[in-house]
Amino acid sequence: MVDLTKHVRTRIRYDGPALIGHEMDVQELAPALLAMAEIVQIANRKFNGEAVAIRVMVDADVEQQCFQLDLSLVQSVLNQAATLLGHRDLATAKEIAEWIGIIGGSGLGLFALLKRIYGKGDTSPAVTFSTGDQTGTTIINIAGDAHGIVVPTETARLLVDQDVQKNVRGVLKPLEHDGYEDITFLHDEKPVTQIEKDEALAIRSAPPITPEEDQTESASKIRGAVRIKCPQYECGARWSLLYQGRAIDAEMDNQTAKWVAEFSSKPDIRAAKHRPRGQHDRNRAADCSWPRGQ
């Protein structure tokens, strides 16, 4: 295993009268921290598969008149060879932290997005999705708002993940107790997102957002160079492509999917896939040589 460590440090702070003495009930804190760690793990698996491991480390800070913890995301690349050869585009710990919303980034992270959606009133608004004009973005359309919210597509994918939703409720659960007023995520000593008690209750009580019912997509055309990583057949046939340094999926039409399946099933293609490495090399050398005298 090649260990290439990527490190991001951020801070989570629970505040309120009950926490002035720097103490927090471990039965309230431990499940919340485990829920935060699980959100990080889900995001890492979603965007990196099994190529990267990530850990969430905790360091308590008792200097403030509240209860706050430093969180460190420590990332290790398990398959460096694939990365160096350009076969994998890995999400860094910094990008994962931005998409979750525990550090600032170019767009809204998950927690800030949840605050925008559910922090305005007692009712949970309907939410739909459309493809953003910029590559890698999704527009979140909130019923009653004239303008959609443009977020990284990765943030939108976390928003509709039911396991992420469950663990978000776990992170916010301490705010249900008396004496807890808010939770704040800080990076470089600056607040990234603060969620008040009433906002946390609205988020926790909101119905799940399911992509099957709520997510809609609009087709968009882009022109540019792409590299085909491989065909995929789970959940519908599609291409796995590399475009502008990012992995994206593109649907195959039925005719294309049939052609790819037939092409891959040809005996010579199957033999090439399973041919020993040395035989590949010998064939390649033979193919590149010219008969003597020509």
Choosing from 192, 214, 236, the residue where a domain stops is: 214
Length of the chain equals: 294
Give, as one character, the DSSP assignment of residue 122. S
Residue-wise burial string across 47-71, b where 16 or more C-beta atoms lie within 10 A, e elsewhere: bbeebbebebeeeeeeeeebbbbeb
pTM of the model: 0.67
* Pair (267, 187) in one structural domain: no
**From CA 168, how far away is CA 163, in angstroms rounded?**
9
**Domain boundaries, position 111:** 5-214
Containing 9, the helix (H) or strand (E) segment is strand 5-15
pLDDT of residue 170: 96
Number of domains in the chain: 2
pLDDT, one tens digit for every residue, the chain (294 residues): 334 446 788 888 899 998 877 778 888 888 999 999 999 999 999 988 877 888 888 876 655 555 666 667 676 765 554 444 444 567 888 899 999 999 988 789 999 999 999 987 667 788 888 888 888 899 998 887 878 899 999 999 999 999 999 999 999 999 999 999 999 999 888 999 999 999 999 999 998 887 544 444 445 555 666 555 555 554 455 556 665 555 666 665 666 666 666 666 666 544 544 555 454 444 433 333 333 444
Q: Are 249 and 228 in contact (CB under 8 A)?
A: no
- Residue 75: φ, ψ to 5°: -115, 135
Asked if 127 and 264 sit in the same domain, the reply is no
Indicate whether 64 and 188 sit together in one domain: yes
Residues 143 and 70 in one domain: yes
Check whether residue 201 and residue 86 sit in a common domain.
Answer: yes
In this prediction, residue 225 carries a pLDDT of 61
Q: What is the largest CA-CA distance in the chain?
A: 92
